[in-house]
């Protein structure tokens, strides 16, 4: 398999198939895509369909929309089996949260751009000229390529590739979504990656003595993370740890302080 060579995960690069630049014609895109994914198709028409956006198709059924439909299901099944086999300590609820994060449009789009699949997408000239494309089309091509590989090479090929491409997404989702013991997860992360141990700082408290609420923030090496409320200090610390994990991984805060 060819090396995984990421480029910026913030910028989508689309070029139409006019062939006016080297590497932008249809045949070059097919070759480039096969090089990226480390798989040579027996039936190139499958890959051509997977890479063809509706704007660049001769008719709707020639686009990647049908393959996207199948790819969504294949992706979900492969990730579910992966999580089921490798994380036996997690219950159904945890596995569902992890899986949802891994197969989200955000994750698929990010990985597609890191791989460079956006450069292989066959789109109409107007899409690249006007830059009016929806961001979701990059995640869509990821799903359609997964489906094409599944039909051409079988589930084992897909499983091998996805376990390489989505390894970081799974690890992040497990750390941020997979366990209710967020303090333990944050401590492991901080000690492993930040060479520090989290401490928890009481920011505020409110309510009568018999029904107090506590606002607590996690602090790692003097960096204070967004505080979270809890009906007791134990819950507040768990919520604060969850907020810290989310911020460290660039994800939305699960327990925002709505009063701030």
217's enclosing H/E stretch is strand 213-220
Among candidate residues 143, 152, 169, 175, the one labeled active-site is 143
| Residue 209 is among the residues annotated as catalytic for this protein | no
Among candidate residues 16, 72, 152, 175, the one labeled active-site is 72
Query: Is there a binding annotation on residue 5?
Result: no
- For the beta carbon of residue 190, count every other beta carbon within 10 angstroms: 20
Query: Is there a binding annotation on residue 143?
Result: yes
| Contacts for 47 with CB less than 8 Å, ≥ 6 apart | 30, 33, 34, 41, 145, 148, 152
| Residue 72 is among the residues annotated as catalytic for this protein | yes
Q: Tell me the HSE value of 196 on the side-chain side, using a 13 A CA sphere.
A: 9
In the chain, where does DSSP find H-type helix?
A: 26-37, 44-51, 65-86, 92-102, 105-115, 125-130, 136-153, 155-165, 167-177, 182-189, 233-248
| The pairing of beta strand 228-230 with beta strand 223-224 | unpaired
Do residues 231 and 213 touch, judged by C-beta distance below 8 A?
yes
Query: Is there a binding annotation on residue 118?
Result: no
Do residues 159 and 68 touch, judged by C-beta distance below 8 A?
no
- The set of catalytic residues is 72, 143
Binding-site members are 68, 140, 143
Binding-site members for Mg(2+) are 68, 140, 143
């Amino acid at each position: 398999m060819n090396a995984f060579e990421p480029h910026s995960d913030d910028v989508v690069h689309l070029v139409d198939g006019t062939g006016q630049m080297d590497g932008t014609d249809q045949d070059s895109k097919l070759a480039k895509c096969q090089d990226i994914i480390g798989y040579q198709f027996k039936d190139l028409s499958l890959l051509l369909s997977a890479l063809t956006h509706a704007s660049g198709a001769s008719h709707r059924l020639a686009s990647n929309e049908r393959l996207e439909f199948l790819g969504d299901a294949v992706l979900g099944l492969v990730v579910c089996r992966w999580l089921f086999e490798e994380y036996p300590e997690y219950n159904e609820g945890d596995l569902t949260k992890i899986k949802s994060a891994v197969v989200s449009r955000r994750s698929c789009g990010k990985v597609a751009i890191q791989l460079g699949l956006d450069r292989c997408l066959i789109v109409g000239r107007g899409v690249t000229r006007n830059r009016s494309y929806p961001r979701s089309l990059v995640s869509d091509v990821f799903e359609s390529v997964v489906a094409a590989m599944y039909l051409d090479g079988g589930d084992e090929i897909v499983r091998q590739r996805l376990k390489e491409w989505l390894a970081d997404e799974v690890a992040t989702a497990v750390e941020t979504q997979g366990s209710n013991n967020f303090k333990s997860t944050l401590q492991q992360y901080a000690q492993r990656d930040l060479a520090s141990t989290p401490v928890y700082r009481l920011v505020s408290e409110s309510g009568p003595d018999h029904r107090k609420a506590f606002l607590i923030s996690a602090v790692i090496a003097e960096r204070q993370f967004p505080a979270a409320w809890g009906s007791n200090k134990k819950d507040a610390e768990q919520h604060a740890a969850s907020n810290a994990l989310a911020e460290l991984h660039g994800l939305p805060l699960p327990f925002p302080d709505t009063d701030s």
